[in-house]
Amino acid sequence: MDIRISQSEDKDAGGVVLCVEGRLTRDAAALLESVCTRLMGESQRLRINVDGICFISEDGARALGRLKRLPQVQLDGCRLFTECIVEQVRAL
């Protein structure tokens, strides 16, 4: 798997920050969603920093789109390219 997900505490918002780096492929997207589901089950607010993503598959973009729609999740570090991909897949 070509992804790294690191977790830290978000002291300002009282939740968790996930920094995602590498290639967001189908398997990596499934892992990211699994981690997010577990943390949300613990009533955690999530901030997901995607600035370190260098490749997003269609499955990865769909996963980010699903996560972005959740009220307890905030995506940070979206470069224009990343944002466009997530929005395009969401429109399909």
* pLDDT surpassing 80 at residue 44: no
| pLDDT score of 81 | 60
Total domain count, the chain:
1
Reported pTM: 0.83
Mean pLDDT (whole number) for 50-54? 90
Which residues, 6+ apart, have CB-to-CB distance to 59 below 8 Å? 25, 26, 29
Q: Which domain holds residue 69?
A: 3-91
| pLDDT score of 14 | 79
Mean pLDDT (whole number) for 6-35? 91
Find the CATH number of the domain harbouring 35.
3.30.750.24
Cα dist from 38 to 16, 34, 73, 85, 91, whole Å: 12, 6, 13, 26, 27
* pLDDT surpassing 90 at residue 36: yes
Cα dist from 56 to 40, 44, 84, 89, whole Å: 23, 25, 11, 11
